[in-house]
Amino acid sequence: MNRELYGKLVFEISRPGRRGYRLPDNHMEGNPIPDNGEKAPAIPGTLLRQTPLSLPECDELSVVRHYNNMSNNNFGVDTGFYPLGSCTMKYNPKINEEIAGHPMSAASHPATPAYASQGNLRLYHTLQRALSEIGGMAEFTLNPFAGAHGELTGLMVIRAYHDSRGDTGRRKVIVPDSAHGTNPASAAVAGLEVVEVKSRPDGTVDVDDLRPLLDSTVAAVMMTNPNTLGLFERNIPEIARLAHEAGALMYYDGANLNPMLGVARPGDMGFDVMHINLHKTFSTPHGGGGPGSGPVGVRAGLEQFLPNPRVEKFTESDGKETFRLTATETALGSISATLGNFAVQARALGYILSLGSEGLMQAGPLATLNANYVKECLKDDYLLPIDCICKHEFVFDGLKDKSTGVTTLNIAKRLLDHGYHAPTIYFPLLFHESLMIEPTETESKETLDDFIAVMHDIAREARETPEAVLSAPHNTPITHPDDTAAALNPVTTFDQLN
């Protein structure tokens, strides 16, 4: 670590007896001061820690500087280009942050009664209807907290549907070999068995391989369109027909919905259930564990299986619209303690309403244009295993010149030296050296041209001075650690550093 640029660990600036704040004496004795100023009874010894915590001892100024310097090491869409494939790390307008931070939204308590939360419930219902229109679905629930949580909820809806018909033998889910890793994981958590379907050389699902897999034990076919190679699955109508004839439902993973906005709707393709990653497609730059939101939509006939509670609109006798929380016995149950991540929902509705239908319809084509521009400019230096028009993202199989010894991992690390976040690497698993790039629609041509130039420069270095790439990164807080040693002998506590 470069200590001059990035400072020391907080334990290293610690000095015995140094502190930035002191609690009242009676609190230190285990007697917190109640609101009325009287001394409270001592905290029972069984609730007190018996051994002191080994915490750093620092003055306030040192702590403030330390954490501000640490925060400057963070990378995000507001600080640089973030071409992370399959994740749509696009810039999201700050007006959406203002909407989510409005006191009427931010200060609302989840347990506030419905009669006192009519504005928030209207926002929820309006977004629910907007997503239904965008996805071609009958109804949405916004309760799931993340994309994978939405997948689990959608699969639970499918399972509840089959069980309600007495078709309890359907416990298999067919998943393409190019699927997101959360697809098989969500199916397993839902108590379903995962069956893999192969891809064709062109990167799309092999319908001939799918056909014999469909039988009376299949509950659903999970698909992403465009798929994780950034290619549009043209055989969806045929796949949907085969699945429905076999009694199975079609599930749409909405992680790649961004290029489809206003162009094609999953419901029109034949999908019965879908989830949307609000934090990818409709504002809230994600990463670092959240916050997220994974609304689930269903076609007509499946609404009753959506989780409780639901927000419904009613018209009173005087013509006034009111919104209520309802619950049904046919629902799969509850999958969250509240109505989901409301702040993310507020951002998403702000994004949708500010862009309008015309703006949303421009997002997909622009994302597709940017991806194809970058792909065409780089394919002379990087191996393009499937050379065709892509949608919002594309995948290289490492460098075209394999004799350099430079891997996809080396390329990703070298990009860090140029101030770019690395693209997704080694996914999907269809290729050995996958380098998955998604520029999104929000990046300018100048940014893309700079990125293209850097990628060409790295390819040139790999040919002429490969050690410069193999030893990268050179100017990050941690430069080039031994990955294998770090995995085999991890340092898990500060004491081990001494």
CATH of 363-486, one of 3.90.1150.10, 3.90.930.12, 3.90.45.10, 1.10.3720.10: 3.90.1150.10
What CATH code is assigned to 94-354?
A: 3.40.640.10
Q: Is the dihedral of CA 373, 379, 385, 387 positive or negative?
A: positive
Q: Cα angle vertex 312, ends 307, 313, to 5°?
A: 170
Q: Please say if the pLDDT value at position 40 is more than 70.
A: no
363-389 pLDDT, tens digit each: 999 999 999 999 999 999 999 999 999
Q: What is the pLDDT of residues 97-112, one digit of tens each?
A: 899 888 888 888 888 9
Paired tokens of 89? 């790390």
pLDDT for residue 72 = 82
Burial 335-363 (b: 16+ CB within 10 A, else e): bbeebbbbbbbbbbbbbbeebeeeebeeb
Beta bridge partners of 139: 298
Half-sphere exposure (Cβ direction) of 12: Cα atoms closer than 13 Å: 9
The confidence band for 54, taking pLDDT boundaries of 50, 70 and 90, is confident
Q: CA 233, CA 225: separation in Å to the nearest integer?
A: 6
CB atoms closer than 10 angstroms to residue 449: 13
Answer for the pair 307, 162: CB distance below 8 angstroms, yes or no. no
Question: Residue 55 is which amino acid?
Answer: L
Using pLDDT thresholds of 50, 70 and 90, give the confidence band for residue 37.
low
Global model pTM greater than 0.85: yes
pLDDT at 114: 92
Residues 6+ apart with CB under 8 A from 77: 89, 90, 91, 92, 285
With cut-offs at 50, 70 and 90, classify the pLDDT of residue 316: confident
- What pLDDT, on a 0 to 100 scale, did the predictor assign at position 296? 98
- Same fold yes or no, 94-354 and 363-486: no
Residue-range domain boundaries for the chain? 1-73, 94-354, 363-486
Quote the pLDDT of residue 338: 84
